[in-house]
Amino acid sequence: MLNPMPQERPSPMKHVPKPNTDEDLIKAFLDKGGEVKKGKTKPMPSDLGLSNNQWGNKLTKEEKAAVKAQEEAAKKLK
C-alpha cells in the first residue's frame, strides 16, 4: 500500500562558519614563504568543434584532411 503522505527528509547538516577565514589562511600561506603564481593552461585541441552543434565532437579523417589542406594553401600564399 502506498503511503499518501510523503515522508519528510532529515534536515541537512547545520552550516557552522569556521573560525579561519580565507584571508587568514592566505596570509598564513604567504607568511610561510608561499608564492602566488599564474597557472598555465593547455591549448584547446584544434580538432574540437567550437560551434554549439559541434561541441566536443572531434573531426573525421576527411575533415582533418580538408583543414590541413586549407592551412597548407594559406602558408603558400604568405
pLDDT at 31: 92
pTM for this prediction: 0.37
Q: Is the pLDDT of residue 11 over 70?
A: no
pLDDT at 69: 92
| pLDDT tens digits for range 22-68 | 788 888 889 998 888 888 888 777 666 666 566 667 778 888 888 88
pLDDT at 37: 84
> How many degrees, rounded to 5, is the angle at CA 31 between CA 26 and CA 34?
70
Ranges of H-type helices in 1-78: 22-31, 61-77
Q: Is the pLDDT of residue 14 over 80?
A: no
